[in-house]
Amino acid sequence: MKFFDRFFENNARSIAQTNGRRGMLKGLGAALVGASTIPLLPVARASEPVKPPQEVGDPGECDYWRYCAIDGFLCDCCGGSTNSCPPGTEMSPITWIGTCKNPVDDRNYVISYNDCCGKTQCNSCLCQRDEGDRPLYRSDKSNDVNWCLGASSSVYHCSTAIVVGIAFEKN
């Protein structure tokens, strides 16, 4: 026990002699400033999920803002939602991406129209607005491609409309 007493006493004294009382505050401050920059690293930002924007409208209706470039059945009417697939279907990771203007803040958002696959087509709420759709020779910008080609079953059921980013406005 004596050893512990001596050990802590010596340490406490040597710290008291070499460091000021405000030293810890300074260190803490510096650490806080240092730590605050870490979440700003680009890697962290790149993987950060996009905060959902403020919205108006009914995701069950074709005129909902996120559907500006859609061509298909709305998953919202098929037992899923704008962000998720109906039970029993699989979301294709390979997808068609466009931008739509959100009427609330008047900003363009990047929308990913991931298809839900693996069940016969839903057949309700067909919505075809096609803004920004390009012919098949620009296959990455054509919504006529069966994007279920990226899923394990290529049978198309319905389409989601997920906000994945904010558009960069070129001057």
Partner 1 sequence: MKILTSFLLLSSCIISTSAFSSDLINEKRAKFNYQMLCQGCHVGDGRGGKDVPNMKGLVGNFLKTQKGREYLVRVPGAANSAIDSKELAELLNWIIITIGSESKPKDFKPFTEHEVEELREDPLMEVVQYRIMLMKELSDLPEQR
Positions marked active-site: 96, 115
Question: Least Å distance between CB 10 and partner 1?
Answer: 20
164 binds partner 1 (CB under 8 A): yes
Phi-psi region of 123 (alpha: psi -120 to 50; beta: other; left: phi over 0): left
Q: Which of 81, 101, 126, 150 binds partner 1 (CB under 8 A)?
A: 150
What is the H or E stretch that residue 28 is in? helix 23-37
Residue 117 near residue 155 (C-beta atoms within 8 A)? yes
In angstroms, rounded to a whole number, what is the distance separating the alpha carbons of residues 124 and 8?
A: 75
DSSP state of 49: P
Q: Which of 3, 17, 43, 135 binds partner 1 (CB under 8 A)?
A: 43
Q: Among 76, 42, 30, 38, which Cα is nearest to 57's?
A: 76
99 binds partner 1 (CB under 8 A): yes
Q: Which stretch binds partner 1 (CB under 8 A): 5-13, 30-38, 58-66, 76-84?
A: 30-38
135 binds partner 1 (CB under 8 A): no
Q: Which of 82, 89, 95, 160 binds partner 1 (CB under 8 A)?
A: 95
Q: Among 97, 110, 109, which Cα is nearest to 147's?
A: 97
Here's the x/- map for partner 1, 45-64, by CB under 8 A: it reads as xxx-----------------
In angstroms, rounded to a whole number, what is the distance separating the alpha carbons of residues 150 and 81?
A: 20
Name the site residues for partner 1 (rule: CB under 8 A): 19-20, 23, 26-27, 29-31, 33-34, 36-38, 40-43, 45-47, 93-97, 99, 110, 112, 138, 140-141, 149-150, 164-168, 170
